[in-house]
Chain A
Amino acid sequence: MSDYVVELKGVTKRFPGVVALDNMSLSVKPGEILGLIGENGAGKSTLIKVLTGVYQAEEGKVYVSGTEHHFKNPNDSAAAGIACVYQELNIEKLLSVTDNIFINKWMKKKSGFLDYSAMNARAKEVMESLGIDIDPSKAAGTFGMGVQQMIEIAKAILIDAKMIIMDEPTSSLGEKEVELLMKICRKLKDRGISIVFVSHKLEELFELCDRVTVMRDGEHIWTKEISETDNDDLITAMVGRSMDQLFVKAETTKGECALRVENIKEGGVLHDVSFEAYNGQILGFAGLVGAGRTELMRAIFGADPIDGGKIFINGKEEKIRSPKEAIRKGIAFLTEDRKGQGLVLGQSVQMNLILANLKGFCKGIFIDDKKVRETGEENVKSLRIKTPSQDEIVGQLSGGNQQKVVIGKWINSDANIFIFDEPTRGIDVGAKVEVYNVMNTLTEAGKCVIMISSEMPEILGMSDRVIVMREGRIMATINRGDLKNFNQEDIMKAAWGGKIDE
């Protein structure tokens, strides 16, 4: 009998142009919670897909309880006792909880018809064992994300999984649901089920995991007992360079107040939010996911209606009822969801670059093709957008280059206030540095930059001032010069609702 329930040795997986997994190894002990972290693009998803049989590795071996396995498809992997709760849940919202749990492994009566009373009873039993008391004959979509996730876990339990992989399970959960999930993870652990817990949130790893494995560029960097590591250690291992190199902040001078917001209210989401943002500065917005930062920016940008409050631009009160008006008043808003809200994926790079300022690219009633082409050339060059030509369909570019196209779109809009919502999410380190450079260029030119980020190093590295939000309220405002409070611990404290010692 092996020491490990699942073991991966020397696994390599290549895709055209990239090595997604490079001699990767991973070992999971029975009944442990193993944290798995790495930057976006480090190869976590590929690793999960190799473990679940979605991808087949070119080299390397997979052992389950000491025996070698070759997973040709997800069924093989499930049969060996590996289950996965993906970030995007596979829940049929209109079907009942029972249907979801027993999909493809229905219990049948002797007559051949489905035995719903047995399935409902079993579903209830399993959900209860997870501490969830619900009526499983109700449609899955009527329950919250937390319960829907439990349905996925229940599925794993029903196939007698030895190991459950959870891919960023907390990213879509509320605070209470996260607590519940953690409780259930510990319960599963007590039953001897191993968990591979993939997360970007370091605090969760420290709270939950026994050991943690760091991967970078498809390689295994190290695995340590959680007690033997700390934040800096983890981040350095993930990023592969110290933070000083990543963030080179430009020296700029604080200018006039570009944007002042007073008592913005939006039913149940924003409560009397007021702040100021200055030209020549980067104002960082920190907080947990769901703290209301994106909602605040959408409200300012006119994307969602507000219930009260005032917005002043360059000292003048303005009514902003639609994104169109916001853009006219010089606000640019890089949305968090690049594909859904930032780009028209089926259109060319060129078209997307002029999207936010079509009028500005018109001569009379016609679009000035020459100007459009010249601007496109210049954007591609200055932002270093890797594309065969500006006529390429944007959907064909990599995430980082797509993000640069969105940035180019807003630079072309002649805005003065740039709101960046999670500007480096899902792009590689090289592209991140280039995004930071763009922000530097903007502040050097005296523009006002507002940056929402859930990545603490980014907030600390780039912001002149940080506002911390929680549950639709501002918890703290910290200046860069404030050496006592301008640090990760105090920002996290505020984000979690704690008081900062003044």
Chain B
Amino acid sequence: MSKGKLKSKNGLADRLGSLGALLVLCIVLSFATSSFLTQSNIMNIFKQTSVNALISTGMLVCLITAGIDLSVGANAIFCTCMMGMLLQKGVTNPLIMILVGIGSGILVGFINGTLLTRLHLPHPFVSTLGMKNVLWGMALLVVNSQIVSGFPKQVTWLGSSTLPASVPVLGGFPISFILVIIIFIIMGIFLSKTALGRSIYCVGGNPEAARLSGIQSANVLTFCYTLSGLMSALAAIVLVGRGGIANGANAIQPYDTDAIAACIIGGASFMGGKGTMSGTLIGALIITVIRNGLQLLSVSTAVQNIVIGLVIILAVLLDVTRERMDARARRLAAK
């Protein structure tokens, strides 16, 4: 029996594992509360997942490079506030607003990448943590700590619209989640089928070997953090649509940790070099389903947090155990 075969089978099992967990979770919740498996609640889950799924995309790319981007949530809120600032200043052109929002996110990501590569800061944990605080303050500053509302319809469309109820089965499906699906398909193909995508895994595994193989590791890393910034900006537009407001105080909501959790549950590792888009999507859905289900069961937010925390620990524990078992299987096979 070849070890290669064993491996690919395990790979499938990984994916099936988290997908299975998601299904079991849904089945259990369907029995536990009659309001879970309804058309409107399912659409609600998709809507609630959109922001975290987008942010997780950027986080995943950074995690694959063995880095991390703790500024994702603050960056998203900063982008909403930049758009809010325009509104305060009387700019109502939706195109300019969206471009400024996306531009801000990309710029912040690019700065994060530059700090890491060109300015040689150590692990991005520190620099992006610093950036998170900077952005929190900036978000409040640009809108004078006010809550801005009254965004034009074209800006809020992405985060607030759904497919019309007349569409069979998918009536009420959020437009934002269609964006998520499109982004995940593009990113999935990008990561597995393009040279740059594959380089990201290699730079994560061994930046020096990648550099000496002709891959510009520094550029690849800068690209990853810039991409993370772009994803935060897209999440910002969805956020503005969903809530209709820009509020700088939200910058310290746990967007970053939710994104990390989605990636890790989906099979990414802090050691870098692994993680997939499909796994991350399942991870993001698992988190929303748990939150949603517990809310329907009227469980307090305190307990919700405890459960989410335990799920993260469990996911990592499973992952580590699985790897140890794999290593042992290989040792036995070598005998």
Contact = CB atoms under 8 A, between A and B. Distances in A.
Interface residues of A, number: 40
Interface in A354-392: 355-359, 361-362, 365-367, 369, 388-392
Interface string A330-342: 0001010000111
Contacts of A392: 3-4, 7
Which one of A324, A344, A369, A396 has the greatest number of beta carbons of chain B within 10 Å?
A344
Interface in B315-335: 330-331, 334-335
Contacts of B206: 340-341, 343-346
Nearest to A355: B213
B213 A388 contact: no
B194 interface: yes
B195 A388 contact: no
A341 B208 CA distance: 6
A381 to B, nearest CB: 15
B330 A396 contact: yes
B202 A344 contact: yes
Contact of B212 (A303, A351, A369): A303
A367 B196 CA distance: 10
A358 B3 contact: no
Contacts of B334: 16-17
B212 A366 contact: no
B2 interface: yes
Contacts of A324: 214-216
B274 interface: yes
B204 to A, nearest CB: 8
A358 B330 CA distance: 29
B209 A391 contact: no
B210 A355 contact: yes
B3 A388 contact: yes
Contact of A346 (B8, B194, B205, B331): B205
A361 B272 CA distance: 24
Contact of A389 (B2, B195, B330): B2
Interface residues of B, number: 33
Nearest to B218: A322
Contact of B194 (A344, A365, A396): A365
Contacts of B195: 358-359, 361-362, 365, 367
B335 to A, nearest CB: 4
A341 B212 contact: yes
B201 A347 contact: yes
Contacts of A362: 194-195
Given A347-B201, A362-B195, A356 B208 contact: no
A389 B4 CA distance: 6
Contact of B209 (A341, A357, A365): A341
A361 B211 CA distance: 18
B193 interface: yes
Nearest to B2: A388
A70 B126 CA distance: 49
Given A324-B215, A358-B199, A367 B205 contact: no
A351 B208 contact: no
A342 B335 contact: no
B273 interface: yes
B205 A345 contact: yes
Nearest to A301: B212
A327 interface: yes
A155 interface: no
A319 to B, nearest CB: 16
26 contacts: A323-B211, A326-B214, A327-B213, A327-B214, A341-B209, A341-B212, A343-B209, A344-B273, A346-B206, A346-B274, A347-B201, A347-B202, A351-B198, A355-B210, A361-B195, A366-B189, A366-B193, A367-B193, A388-B2, A388-B4, A389-B2, A389-B5, A391-B7, A391-B8, A392-B7, A396-B330
Given A323-B213, A366-B193, 9 more contacts: A322-B216, A341-B206, A341-B209, A346-B272, A351-B202, A357-B214, A388-B2, A388-B3, A391-B7
Interface of A: 16-17, 301, 303, 322-324, 326-328, 333, 335, 340-347, 351, 355-359, 361-362, 365-367, 369, 388-392, 396, 409, 413
